[in-house]
Amino acid sequence: MTQRVELATVMDRLAVDGLVTEYAVAVDDGDWAAYRELFTPDGRADYRSAGGIEGDVGSVAAWLAENLRLFSMRQHLIVNRRVRFGVREQDAGDTARVGADYVNPMRLAGHGDEGGAPDFVCGGRYSFGLLRTYDGWRLREVVVEEKWRRLPTA
């Protein structure tokens, strides 16, 4: 690899990592306009393993906006990111796959919003499919594989 190719790969890794972080922030902050902007026009998300829906980004964003109002606090911690670049139409590096583990503590609205331990915690693995566009890297697919959850205790 030449230094130019290595530098481009590092820059792509930083951009992809930034996109995954922006995804987490948009969901945690309930910024559904920002969430939609992170995706390609044909982008899809699948939250079925966590009790959600699968569909186009607009439908999923609307579902998230409605259902996540149950929680006054959300904080995705997305770690162990594994990035693999792929090939699209003979151009290396125009697609990427990211596998990343997550832990997501959430507080139920109206249940001790002043602080303390979260009421609900879940964890699992994300699979992100990304595409390089003229506007930069965008999400084409998000699949959640929830592996565990801890519910509130009485």
Q: Which amino acid is at 41?
A: P
C-alpha torsion angle, residues 123, 141, 87, 9 (rounded to 10): -50
Rounded Cα distance between 9 and 86, Å, is: 12
Pick from 70, 151, 67, 153: nearest CA to 109:
70
Provide the whole-model pTM.
0.90
Instruction: Count the Cβ atoms, other than its own, within 10 Å of residue 113.
Output: 11
Domain ranges in the chain are: 3-150
25-36: buried (b, 16+ CB within 10 Å) or exposed (e) per residue? Answer: ebbbeeebeebb
* pLDDT at residue 8, as a whole number: 83
* pLDDT at residue 119, as a whole number: 86
CATH architecture of residue range(s) 3-150: Roll (3.10)
* pLDDT at residue 43, as a whole number: 98
* 10-residue stretch averages of pLDDT, the chain, 154 residues long: 73 96 98 98 97 98 96 94 80 85 92 68 97 96 97 73
Pick from 143, 125, 145, 124: nearest CA to 46:
143
C-alpha torsion angle, residues 67, 126, 60, 108 (rounded to 10): 10
